[in-house]
Structures are given as structure tokens and as C-alpha cells.
């Protein structure tokens, strides 16, 4: 089964990651300019918010196809974050057949 992520979706992901890197860089510069140790948490907060938004976007825009039965399903952001994954695959339990397998990723419509 040859399932690929659409080019526009990949480009959008690259833009989101670039924006996250820019925001974190700006936060680091601001932290260095401020002489306050509390200001050191700014990059950590920026990274956490950016990562949460990125995971949420990925969970909303990706569906998975069970390797065992072919059932197509979505997962939530928490499962998307904590489940083991490879490029275009994720180890998940299918809600239809209940079996655990490396499900293929596909962009949601």
C-alpha cells in the first residue's frame, strides 16, 4: 500500500515548524536581553505551546489505516503524541478489529 502525504500538507508542516523556530529564537534573544532569571522560562513556554499546536494540527489532519483490516480512523492529540511512530506509520490499536499494528498515515480530507 503506497500512501503519501500530500505536498501541500507537507509544505504547511514545514512552515509551522519554521514559525516555531523563529518564535523560539526571538524568545531566546528576549531572554538574553532581560536580566531576570524568571525570563529564562519564556523559551520553554514558547516551545511547549508551539509543540502542542503542532501536535494538535497533525492529529486533526492525519488519518490512519489499519494494516490488519483496512479500517480508516482518526486519533486524538494525546495518542498522536505518545504513540510510537515511524515515517508515515504509527503503532496503534484499531478501533474496529482491536488489533495492534503499524497503521499507515494518510492526510485527512
Is residue 95 included in any domain, yes or no?
yes
Is residue 35 included in any domain, yes or no?
yes
Is residue 1 included in any domain, yes or no?
no
Q: How many domains does the chain have?
A: 1
Dump pLDDT digits (tens) for 10-29: 677 778 778 878 877 777 77
**Which residue in the block uniquely carries the three cell numbers 494540527?**
57
Contact 103, 65 (CB under 8 A): yes
Is residue 89 included in any domain, yes or no?
yes
Dump pLDDT digits (tens) for 78-97: 999 999 988 888 999 999 99
Is residue 20 included in any domain, yes or no?
yes
Report pTM. 0.66
Scored b (16 or more CB within 10 A) or e, 57-90 reads bbbebbbbbbbeeeeeeebebeebbeeeeeebbb
Parent domain of 95: 7-107
Is residue 101 included in any domain, yes or no?
yes
Amino acid at each position: 500500500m503506497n500512501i503519501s502525504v500530500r505536498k501541500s500538507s507537507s509544505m504547511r508542516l514545514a512552515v509551522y515548524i519554521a514559525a516555531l523556530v523563529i518564535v523560539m529564537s526571538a524568545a531566546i534573544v528576549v531572554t538574553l536581553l532581560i536580566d531576570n532569571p524568571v525570563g529564562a522560562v519564556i523559551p520553554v513556554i514558547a516551545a511547549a505551546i508551539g509543540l502542542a499546536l503542532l501536535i494538535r494540527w497533525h492529529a486533526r489532519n492525519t488519518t490512519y489505516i489499519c494494516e490488519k483490516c483496512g479500517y480508516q480512523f482518526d486519533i486524538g492529540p494525546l495518542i498522536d503524541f505518545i504513540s510510537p511512530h515511524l515515517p508515515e506509520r504509527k503503532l496503534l490499536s484499531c478501533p474496529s478489529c482491536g488489533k495492534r499494528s503499524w497503521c499507515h498515515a494518510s492526510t485527512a480530507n
